[in-house]
Homo-oligomer: A and B are copies of this chain.
Amino acid sequence: MSRVTIAPEEDRLTAQIAFAVEIDKLKRVIRRNLLMDGSRRENDAEHSWYVGMLALVFAEHAPPGADIQRVIAMLLVHDLVEIDAGDTFIYDPVAVAAQAQAERTAAERIFALLPADQAASMRELWEEFEARETPEARFAKALDRFAPILANHNTEGGTWPLFRVTASQVKEKVRLIEEGSPSLGAYAMELVELSVARGHLSE
């Protein structure tokens, strides 16, 4: 007897596989900042791994009671919308404004590849990250901002001089770090000051 209907669980697996194939593209979305040896620009997938690792490493710098596992899940998915919307340079205010709608459209398409329940919960993680209202999202965003500062500090300014970014612009981003983690914010501020003192970041 031939099968005439697809078993629901087979349907789910097919959808999950389609999503798994799709998200491989995140490895080809290129960010502005460099690897710590300055050899090349970083892609979104390796960046997402890196900030997930930072959540494990700096867990004790999270707001009290923050669920680190949720922070990690949030960081793994936080850039998926860039498969369609591309990476935005955070120091370009025009691009940042246009990006919001593009990311929303991307979220509609990409998460919808999953079975409906998973699409909803993954989209929820992304929206929570973007809204930055929960302690988890604030900490996740802090790590997302901390990573490029650490990288630029370790590559003689990295992309700061290249894109004429100033210390006051970077310090504005440090404020987002402070809101998610006072101790990492203070440390980031030290790195910025040190980069200025060394001539790797202009005032």
The residues of A with any CB-CB pair to B shorter than 8 Å are 9, 12-13, 16-17, 19-21, 23-28, 35-37, 39, 42-43, 45-46, 48-50, 52-54, 56-58, 60-61, 69, 72-73, 76-77, 114, 118, 122, 150-151, 154, 183, 187
* Complex: chain B residue closest to A184, CB-CB: B13
- 7 additional A-B pairs beyond A16-B58, A28-B35, A52-B72, beta carbons within 8 Å, are A23-B50, A24-B35, A45-B49, A46-B46, A52-B76, A53-B76, A69-B72
Instruction: Decide if the interface of chain A is mainly helix, strand, loop or mixed.
Output: helix
Picked from B19, B27, B57, B69, the residue with its CB within 8 Å of the CB of A46 is B27
Instruction: Give the complex CA separation of A157 and B57 in angstroms.
Output: 37
State whether A21 touches B36 (Cβ < 8 A): yes
Closest chain-B Cβ to A71's Cβ sits at a distance in Å of: 11
Q: Which residues of B contact A28 (CB under 8 A)?
A: 35, 37, 39
State whether B57 touches A76 (Cβ < 8 A): no
Closest chain-B Cβ to A189's Cβ sits at a distance in Å of: 13
State whether A73 touches B56 (Cβ < 8 A): yes
State whether A53 touches B77 (Cβ < 8 A): yes
Nearest 7 A/B pairs, CB to CB: A49-B49, A45-B46, A69-B69, A24-B36, A46-B46, A27-B46, A48-B49
* Complex: chain B residue closest to A52, CB-CB: B76
Q: Which residues of B contact A57 (CB under 8 A)?
A: 16, 19-20, 114, 118
Picked from B21, B48, B72, B76, the residue with its CB within 8 Å of the CB of A150 is B21
Instruction: Give the complex CA separation of A61 and B17 in angstroms.
Output: 12
Instruction: Give the complex CA separation of A17 and B69 in angstroms.
Output: 21
Instruction: Give the complex CA separation of A187 and B20 in angstroms.
Output: 14
Q: Which residues of B contact A16 (CB under 8 A)?
A: 57-58
